[in-house]
Chain A
């Protein structure tokens, strides 16, 4: 039984305004993600599993929520698995990135989302009020759902996430378009605490989001000297995701083609 790296890389027809991050323009650079992770998997005796088709039409369920079908998908494809790491399609690992599966303690693992706390706290407060009856989560443990590690023991947890989506679908879609404060991420943060899921927080170096804010996204690729998994999000002036493409291509060539 191997550990699995799971990526959702679905390209939808339509503009970014219509289909969000899965629009053709946005998904162009994701090829660097899948290629890099494939090589990392080869090096660490893991298997890469890429979801490139919708499980449900995105009109019924936004693509970002569909990752939580991962257990069904693996089993439907006859893939045996031990632990699973989900990574967003805008990430690239360093070739020397340690085998994170060995750090999990077999818990649900994530990395705290260091970024704009205006966005994070608004998102937490809004979902708290309208979906979780005022329940509050420890905001300093708020995670980016772009990098998660889990295993079979979390199957029931993921099932409950999907149930939560289907029960609250209309309100979730409304909230998403009204607040622009995330899709699955904040609700899943809440469910982790409400369902008392035992978790482990990994250091920032294992999902380095919002690197511009940390002054790491520099032309000398300083971030590659700092940590292990890079997420190319929250890049200012990123028209048509051209900068995402630029940075992911540059990183891939630097780390994986040299």
Chain B
């Protein structure tokens, strides 16, 4: 059965080890792609041994392009789409399945980082390509491209073009133009052969030259989240355009910030999230809770509406003690199972709108029981009467009927943080209907 393939370029050429500051960065990048491939049932295919050993005449960048189909065929891979990925790219743990967005076209991303370089490269190769009037607005980066069997022929003709002109290309590459390897020739070749190229996917899937984009920073004005912008908003992080010998240092810095997410035992990888089960919170919501309350082991938390315990387990990670209240016996058994590896959760089967007493010493409440405006207003009122400084966390703030939002507004409760998924996030409710959030999934008040 055909499968999508990530053809990952990870040849470690010892000759250039010093120039590249070692090859540890490749091992870092590889881990992210292996994780992502497993998650999306994609074949991870590392290209680690060159086909041609003369790496001066056959640079790895040329080999990946001209031999990709041969290598996969020789390995007996029954490929559907092929995602050719340079080793300097890391993929975010929750990046969507990009194969589903290609419309089965040759898919790439415009390269607009250093247009001076690009211009000189295009001009430099123009004579070789017979003065072809190249459309610069379609110039793409070859470090991340997706294609399929229908492109085999054009890649094979590209191989022939190279093999017939190796000496000329090496001269252009190393002496005359000195602007890139196979990227510009590939651009010319595909354009001259009329390949329909999909350049419409957001560039968050090719976040190169991160320093040039000022995306190593975080929002130092709000000071709410120190996650660097490239991690927060990018899907694929390309560590290009920076001094090559610094690549390991920079990629290791990124890896230290994100590595837990690629660990199958990481708490967020063991829990169910809203995209699978609408009654819980999203992974993003849980990530935000873990980050915001990372230093809150002195606080006690009350959760009303524990449902199946996926959020409860996160609260148990953050707080000293969690008082979990759930109406359904069946659900409560789930909660106990989810939290079986911790001992700071007290389980209570109760209807929180009947015979319920707020425990003493509560600092934080996750308000997730009744969702009508009146019930939420009632919750807000009783918790703040108990302790006006109580921190209140709300789920489903962004749901279309705005019942939670209205309760918060009617209670004149100022919002401290918006958390969780963004407007446009969809999940399926219990009756099978798709629901779409109109603003952020959750909020925290009184923080």
B116 touches A218 (CB 8 A): yes
Contact residues in A for B220 (Cβ distance below 8 Å): 122
A117 touches B215 (CB 8 A): yes
Contact residues in B for A121 (Cβ distance below 8 Å): 215, 219, 229, 233
Whether A88 sits at the interface, judged by CB under 8 Å, is: no
Whether A236 sits at the interface, judged by CB under 8 Å, is: no
CB proximity to B under 8 Å, residues A198-221:
203-205, 213-216, 218
Given A122-B219, A122-B221; A140-B204 close (CB under 8 Å): yes
Q: Which of A117, A136, A138, A179 contacts B229 (CB 8 A)?
A: A117
CA distance A214 to B213 in the complex (A): 10
Least Cβ–Cβ distance between B303 and chain A, in angstroms: 22
Least Cβ–Cβ distance between B181 and chain A, in angstroms: 20
A214 touches B113 (CB 8 A): yes
Interface size class of A (residues with CB under 8 A): 20 to 34
A-facing mask of B97-125, CB < 8 A → 1, else 0?
Answer: 00000000000000011111101000000
Interface size class of B (residues with CB under 8 A): 20 to 34
B439 touches A222 (CB 8 A): no
Whether A139 sits at the interface, judged by CB under 8 Å, is: yes
Contact residues in A for B440 (Cβ distance below 8 Å): 133-136
CA distance A128 to B440 in the complex (A): 10
Contact residues in B for A118 (Cβ distance below 8 Å): 214-215, 217, 229
Whether A114 sits at the interface, judged by CB under 8 Å, is: yes
CA distance A218 to B115 in the complex (A): 11
CA distance A181 to B439 in the complex (A): 22
Whether B255 sits at the interface, judged by CB under 8 Å, is: no
Q: Which of A136, A204, A226 contacts B423 (CB 8 A)?
A: A136
CA distance A226 to B217 in the complex (A): 30
B112 touches A129 (CB 8 A): no
Q: Which residue of B lies closest to A204 (CB)?
A: B112
B-facing mask of A8-26, CB < 8 A → 1, else 0?
Answer: 0000000000000000000
B214 touches A119 (CB 8 A): yes
Whether A239 sits at the interface, judged by CB under 8 Å, is: no
CB proximity to A under 8 Å, residues B108-150:
112-117, 119, 136-137
A222 touches B137 (CB 8 A): no
Whether A126 sits at the interface, judged by CB under 8 Å, is: yes
Given A117-B229, A222-B116; A129-B418 close (CB under 8 Å): yes
B119 touches A126 (CB 8 A): no
CA distance A138 to B203 in the complex (A): 11
CA distance A222 to B203 in the complex (A): 24
Q: Which residue of B lies closest to A125 (CB)?
A: B219
Whether B334 sits at the interface, judged by CB under 8 Å, is: no
CA distance A118 to B218 in the complex (A): 7
Contact residues in A for B386 (Cβ distance below 8 Å): none
Q: Which of A122, A128, A134, A214 contacts B115 (CB 8 A)?
A: A214
Whether B302 sits at the interface, judged by CB under 8 Å, is: no
Contact residues in A for B221 (Cβ distance below 8 Å): 122, 126, 179, 181
Least Cβ–Cβ distance between B424 and chain A, in angstroms: 8
Whether B44 sits at the interface, judged by CB under 8 Å, is: no
Least Cβ–Cβ distance between B205 and chain A, in angstroms: 9
B443 touches A140 (CB 8 A): no
Contact residues in B for A126 (Cβ distance below 8 Å): 219, 221-222
Given A125-B219, A125-B222, A139-B233; A114-B119 close (CB under 8 Å): no
A133 touches B116 (CB 8 A): no
B214 touches A226 (CB 8 A): no
Q: Which residue of B lies closest to A180 (CB)?
A: B221
A-facing mask of B172-202, CB < 8 A → 1, else 0?
Answer: 0000000000000000000000000000001
Least Cβ–Cβ distance between B56 and chain A, in angstroms: 28
Q: Which residue of A lies closest to B215 (CB)?
A: A117
Whether A116 sits at the interface, judged by CB under 8 Å, is: yes
Whether B422 sits at the interface, judged by CB under 8 Å, is: yes
CA distance A138 to B424 in the complex (A): 10
Least Cβ–Cβ distance between A125 and chain B, in angstroms: 5
CA distance A203 to B202 in the complex (A): 13
CA distance A213 to B113 in the complex (A): 8
Which 3 pairs show the lowest CB-CB distances between chains A and B?
A134-B418, A215-B116, A118-B214
- Could you jot down 16 A-B contacts, CB within 8 Å? A117-B214, A121-B233, A122-B221, A126-B221, A134-B418, A136-B423, A138-B202, A140-B202, A140-B204, A214-B113, A214-B114, A215-B114, A215-B117, A216-B119, A218-B116, A226-B119
